[in-house]
Structure 1
Amino acid sequence: MMTEQKSRQNRMLCVLMEDLVPKGHFLRKLDAAIDFSFIYEIMRPVYSDIGRPSVDPVILVKMLLIGYLYGIDSERKLEEEITVNIAYRWFLGLDLEDKVPDHSVFSQNRKRRFKDTEVFQEIFNTVVKKCAEAGLIGGECVVMDSTHIKANAANGNAEEVLLMEGPNEYWQKLNDEYGQDIRQKSEDADMTVTIKKKAVSDPEAGWMHRHPKPAGFHYLCHQSADIQYGIITDVHVTPGDVTDAPYCVKRIAYQKQKLKIPFRFAGLDSGYDTVAVHHGLHKLGIRGYIHLNTGHNASWRKERGLFSIDDFRYDGKNDCYICPNGCTLHYIGVRKVRYRVGKNYVSRSQDCKSCPLKNRCITGKASYKEVRRDFYQEDQERNHALIGTAIYRHVMRKRQVISEGNFALQKRCHNLRFTRKRGVWKVQEQCFLSAMALNLKRLVKYGTAPLLPAVPYLLYILDVVLKRNIRLRPVY
């Protein structure tokens, strides 16, 4: 028999907030896993000792975390959800009759209190340290990658600007060390002029054009993660029109110095396969397992049956190159091409004139072969020798699962697909909170249960290799 409710009688009930939240609710587990009182000490320098009382900074940060934990990307919507959700109120320490802070509190604090500060960086670092204390960071191997975030700017509303670009820090260092007696063509300048698109509504966003990714104004979120449990250990945001490699070494060095994580291995994709990255990792005492980047020029030459730089053998003892026909390319000095400095090797014209392989080696009107070798290229070659080993294959698999998996989960569940904010600093805050949400979920899942001590990663890899009966190739 169907029952119809005719009327509703309003009753006064005496209940406790504690009884209204289910015992197994995620926010209960999160509250037990981490004490957020550390936020007071981080926020204290940006608050005044006088004036009217402010919103509790812990409540402020917890409200933002709720939005990222449950995929609520609108702060107006977040205020509405907290108003009617008892579990959210319990987590924030608000009673049923307490007023939820208005959504404008977040924007006003960004403009007046948090601007040009590192409070969210410090909160994120503290969460990472809490994960390390729970045994979730092995500290042996780091993986790094970047993902694009759609900027809050219309692709059609743009203007073109002239940008002067000079040498980066790595090449400037080489200039200082080997700048004397440099051979330089007249058309090679210290500064290059490029035309770039700039969004009118968000000038700090960059126009990204990476096939097969969508073209448009984006930001790039560069993230590092520990390979053991996938805990995100570092977040850095740049405009979308830059490459990944220049920020790799700096961010890993920051983690070793600031977070005291003693990384010894790094797993990176082909976008980081540059001499500067290999040399930087070597200076940090880190062995790099980096996917080989063949490059467009190498592919173009291979398709046409031409020799590439890999077909020339370098003789380190005599500091010369040997061509496929057995002729020697001698070192003639340092050569500067645009803002890159390298060692220059050339062959003799009479050797190339009678060479049967000349058509596969020299193009255009040149009568001799010229090969340029980067300084510290031996660091790159040393890491390239690791390609194909069992450890390399394992690190590459883990890198793909952790880096790509973290980004996929953050974009689907934790507000990283696009941004409503404008400016690098505000997008950085969004990326910090998204990464914190993922770290806190893993802290709740793995950190509250008793865990075995973190096993050194090399021993872990050897255990995997021995169990699978994989034969290791000797490495340096």
Structure 2
Amino acid sequence: MPDHSSFSKNRHGRFRQSDILRHLFETVVERCLVQGLVGAEGFAVDASLIAADANKQRSVSGAEWSAQEAKENAGRSVQEYLAVLDDAAFGAASPVTPKFVSPSDPAAQWTGAHKGHAFFAYATNYLIDTDHGVILDVEATRAIRQAEVGASRTMIDRTENRFGLKPGYLVADSAYGSADNLAWLVKEKEIAPHIPVFDKSNRTDGTFSRANFNWDGEGDRYICPAGKELVQFRRTYATPRSGITSEGTRLYRASKKDCDACELKQRCCPNAVARKVPRDLNEDARDVARAIAGTPDYERSRHRRKKVEMLFAHLKRILRMARLRLRGPCGARDESLLAATAQNLRRLAKLRPSRLPAAMTA
């Protein structure tokens, strides 16, 4: 009989180097494809938080923790984190210093996203087919929005390269509705975004929001509720200017003369000389998402998105994966791959049960 340590050593050694768990997961997905359980009409993507095996009582302040000092007596999970520190999924997605860091598992993110007690967590990301809820790809990341959005792109590209599947539309929540992500879907991948636009331009003080201004693409201008135009430049410069701000927007300004004589000034810009409206460089992609949001297909796809939430509920309540048992980025990936493989096998057995030979049923 092999010693019990042989299993853990093989898991952290040759099994990981061979990427056998990823191969196992993709083999099950191929079986689902053969059985006709996967279409390319629409995919859904979402992320769910899984508690990490890290204790708040033994954590340190993010400002006090140093990756360079951790190298001296680094354990396996710390070494794994340092090896992938430049990956967007675990370190490079956001330059923000976390409030707390767990020395035993620094890749785990301190988060209070559940609006309750904060905890250390990873995010498991699913890309599923909306027909039968088959998981097409899975990726473990830190529990931050930038890493989750980056994981969705990775999974879409990997599914297309590995299986030749590209959806007609993608369903997701507003966390994936940033201008950059919508532009990537619309312009680069030519995928219809069935995603609510992540937009903070709506005002709550009773004044006009950006939605009250009509965009004129041919004239490169906005038209205000009073019928006046807002443009970028009102004179010609000897050296042409891009007009792009550091936030990646273009500012369209109204004339002070028009605003001074306007009866709607108190509802538009009561505290400013003239109204200005910012427009994102990828606002055209956001307009595509807004146009789709008013269609019957959008309503149907939003209902189908619930399948990915049901998979997360099954993951935590039935498979009991509410807390990770392994530490480090590789441990989170391994557990996510194994859990997704088990869920796909369950789906395959339920929808395409193997038939017993006639001799056995007689």
- 1:271 paired to 2:172: no
Residue in structure 2 matched with residue 206 of structure 1 by the alignment:
109
Distance 2:3 2:222 in 1: 69
Check 1:194–1:108 CA distance in 2 against 1; reply closer, same or farther (3 A cut): closer
- 1:139 paired to 2:34: no
Residue in structure 2 matched with residue 412 of structure 1 by the alignment:
317
Residue in structure 1 matched with residue 157 of structure 2 by the alignment:
253
**Structure 2 stretches of 5 or more lacking a match?**
67-85, 89-93, 234-241, 356-362
In structure 2, which of residues 281, 286, 292 is the aligned counterpart of residue 386 of structure 1? 292
- 1:445 paired to 2:350: yes
8 A contact 1:227–1:399 mirrored in 2: yes
In structure 2, which of residues 133, 145, 149 is the aligned counterpart of residue 230 of structure 1? 133
Map residues 96-245 of structure 1 onto 2, 5 A cutoff: 103-115=4-16, 117-161=18-62, 194=97, 196-212=99-115, 214-243=117-146, 244-245=148-149
Map residues 362-401 of structure 1 onto 2, 5 A cutoff: 362=269, 366-400=272-306
Cα RMSD (Å) of the superposition?
A: 2.5
SS of residue paired to 2:285: helix
Distance 2:98 2:44 in 1: 33
8 A contact 1:416–1:431 mirrored in 2: no
Distance 2:259 2:100 in 1: 45
Residue in structure 1 matched with residue 225 of structure 2 by the alignment:
324
8 A contact 2:56–2:120 mirrored in 1: yes
1:155 Cα offset (Å)? 2.2
8 A contact 1:253–1:284 mirrored in 2: no
8 A contact 1:256–1:263 mirrored in 2: no
What is the TM-score with the length of structure 1 in the denominator? 0.62
Distance 1:242 1:103 in 2: 38
- 1:334 paired to 2:243: yes
Once the two structures are superposed, what CA deviation does each residue of 1:419-444 show, in whole Å capped at 9, x if it has no partner? 02111111111011101001001111
SS of residue paired to 1:385: helix
8 A contact 1:135–1:447 mirrored in 2: no
**Structure 1 stretches of 5 or more lacking a match?**
1-98, 169-190, 451-476
Once the two structures are superposed, what CA deviation does each residue of 1:426-467 show, in whole Å capped at 9, x if it has no partner? 1111011101001001111222369xxxxxxxxxxxxxxxxx
Map residues 415-426 of structure 1 onto 2, 5 A cutoff: 415-426=320-331
Most deviating of 419-428 and 350-359: 350-359
Residue in structure 2 matched with residue 311 of structure 1 by the alignment:
212
Residue in structure 1 matched with residue 75 of structure 2 by the alignment:
none
**What amino acid is aligned across from residue 205 of structure 1 in structure 2?**
A
Distance 1:161 1:218 in 2: 15
Once the two structures are superposed, what CA deviation does each residue of 1:191-219 show, in whole Å capped at 9, x if it has no partner? 97655421222100011122536521110
Distance 1:160 1:432 in 2: 31
SS of residue paired to 2:232: strand
**What amino acid is aligned across from residue 222 of structure 1 in structure 2?**
N
- Structure label with greater radius of gyration: 1
Distance 2:61 2:266 in 1: 42
Percent identical residues: 30
SS of residue paired to 1:152: coil
